[in-house]
Amino acid sequence: MYIIDTHAHLDEIANLDDAVSRARRSGVIAIIGVGVDLKSNKRILEIADKYRGFVYPALGLHPGNLGDEEHREATFQQIELNLERAVAVGEIGLDYFYKETRKEGVTRQVQKQVFNRVLSLAKDSGKPALIHSRGSWQDCLDMALALKVERAVFHWYSGPMAVLDKIVASGYFISASPAAEYSLPHREAINKAPVDRLLLETDSPVAYKGVASEPAHVLRTLKAVVDLKNSTEEQVAIATTSSAKSLFGL
């Protein structure tokens, strides 16, 4: 049984060599290493080079990491220059809840301008977009559809079911995290989404119940999805791994 962690911030994990070894032993066959700004994108590319054939880079500009205009412009250029090396554009999106996105100068209008620009890179390159949509689910979907983005993942989706229906109808994916063990909105979304529209992730090193996560913990996600879907680990692993391979061109 093989699985893929489709969203991990590997640059933030301590003792990464050990974490990668544990992931391999757990049956993880690939990790999508996700960047959020200029510094982390650079580090993700270095990590992907080190673990070539196992870690695949996604380059992005997270709404909580926008910085000033100079930083944003440098990050846009970095993503454009390295897009051929990336399997996705992300983590990108909008966040209407997180306090870091409400800093002086980072208005919703600024967030939307940035998101539209990086989302356009995904659309023009044909790369999937890894979308952060906390509190902004409808706006993120509307912007993706307006640009005619063909491939997208709504990362750790916990939004309204009406928006989820439109995400699925648009051919997009949502990803399940270990929060599927206990988060009621996240569990509801996973339960409703067809298994062929689901991906597995950890969002490492985000802590779940006080414990920092790592890619091997994608097994927790798998088991939570199995419980919700009343399925088997093999069935969910096969479906989600097949979807991830196809979406990211692995």
Give the mean model confidence (pLDDT) for residues 164-170. Answer: 98
Return d(Cα 209, Cα 207) in angstroms, integer: 6
pLDDT at 97: 85
Q: Does pLDDT of 128 surpass 70?
A: yes
Residue pLDDT, tens place only, 36-59: 999 999 999 999 999 999 999 999
Return d(Cα 59, Cα 118) in angstroms, integer: 10
Q: Does pLDDT of 227 surpass 90?
A: yes
Looking at the DSSP bridge assignments, the partners of residue 5 are 31
CATH superfamily, region 3-248? Metal-dependent hydrolases (3.20.20.140)
Question: Average pLDDT over the chain, rounded to whole?
Answer: 96
Where residue 164 falls among pLDDT bands split at 50, 70, 90? very high
Where residue 130 falls among pLDDT bands split at 50, 70, 90? very high
DSSP state of 37: S
Domain spans, the chain: 3-248
pLDDT at 209: 86
Q: Which of 33-37, 97-101, 165-169 has the lowest mean pLDDT?
A: 97-101
pLDDT at 99: 65
Residue pLDDT, tens place only, 19-39: 999 999 999 999 999 999 999
pLDDT at 23: 98
Where residue 105 falls among pLDDT bands split at 50, 70, 90? low
Whether the predicted model's global pTM rises above the 0.85 cut: yes
pLDDT at 102: 65
Closest CA to 130 of 108, 110, 157: 157
Return d(Cα 59, Cα 35) in angstroms, integer: 5
